[in-house]
Amino acid sequence: MAQNATTHNPRRYCTEITPQCPVELTTYGYYPNLSVNSFFIALFGICLFLQLALGTWRRTWTYLGVLAVGCFGEAVGYIGRVIMHNNPWSGAGFKTQICCLVLAPSFLAAGIYVTLKHLVTYCGAENSRLKPRLYPWVFIGCDFGSIILQAIGGGVAASAGDRNTNPKLLNAGNGLIVAGIAFQVATMAVCGLLILDYYIRFQRAKKTKSQAHVGSEYEKRSAVPNEARNFRLFCFAIGMAYTTILIRCIYRLPEMAGGWGNALMRNETEFLILDGMMVGIACVLMTVFHPGFFFEPMRKFKRNGSVQGPVVEQAEAPEEKP
């Protein structure tokens, strides 16, 4: 019976490269590039270390949490791809990279959503169609909804192993991953439209010098040395990180929707550019232009109530009594 099963589908028993199990029959059909994948391990590892150091120093705890998980997941995912370089049939390498590289960018997107509440409050909540306190609840909530879908799909796909082992289970997991990524793209699109609308309304209020704009922390702190420049750099970094993560998610949709082993999935160059490089750029930007240094009001916002503004003065300065 075992001999008949082996004859019927010999590839499901492949564990290493042999004449009967060539690399062309694996899901990806290639040996993952050792040098490039090792570079990404180092890149995300460095970003993880810096996020831990800077986040602890500047006490941006929520931002630190989601960015650290995202960077760690990316680094581990590329370790899985290095394992597959040594053995493209490695089940451990395949499961590690598919779970980590699918999920990790969602945590980086959550890092972007964390900043929106503070950006809107800083520039003037009156210009926003959504209350500042709702930004993290709505978008991080939707983001974690997509993470759950992708996690379930990744777990199902990982339990199925290679496409030659249990293709039906693998395709079921793939469908859940695609649904999760599609939900993430939709969430990011809605978020982008809201922020674009806010930017237009903000510029209009700035031009007319409305009462809402004049009373905002942005206007009050615009004269502080380097404050305006740092704020612009931070906004640029967050905007670029949003764009690169969105590009990655859009790429992943047809790549995963085409089924395991499709032509797009078997093109490593496109994967390294449209996934690895895009997520790498986002991580670098969100680390180099850390809010603890480039958007200091974010770490000084009061925690009890989003309608309250940032604490501009140092808390330890005693109040003068008449």
Give dist(CA 41, CA 44) in Å, integer: 6
Strand partners, 310: 301
Q: Where are the domains of the chain?
A: 29-300
Q: Tokens for 8, please give them.
A: 């019927």
Rg (CA), the chain: 23
Between the two ends of the chain, the Cα-to-Cα distance in Å is 95
- For CA atoms 168, 173, 177, 180, the dihedral sign is positive
For residue 260, the model assigns a pLDDT of: 85
Report the candidate in 274, 280, 278 with the shortest Cα–Cα distance to residue 253.
274
Give dist(CA 136, CA 148) in Å, integer: 17
What DSSP designation does 276 have?
I
| Residue found by looking up tokens 């490269």 in the block | 17
pLDDT in tens, the chain (322 residues): 434 444 445 567 788 999 999 999 999 999 999 999 999 999 999 999 999 999 999 999 999 999 999 999 999 999 999 999 999 999 999 999 999 999 999 999 999 999 999 999 998 888 899 999 999 999 999 999 999 999 999 888 877 766 556 778 888 888 999 999 999 999 999 999 999 999 999 888 888 876 555 557 777 776 677 888 999 999 999 999 999 999 999 999 999 999 888 999 999 999 999 999 999 999 999 999 999 999 988 877 655 433 344 444 333 444 444 4
| Residue found by looking up tokens 């004269």 in the block | 223
Residue 309 buriedness (CB in 10 A; 0-12 / 13-18 / 19+): middle
Cβ-based neighbours of 293, under 8 Å, separated by 6 or more: 54, 58, 230
Q: Which CATH class is domain 29-300?
A: mainly alpha
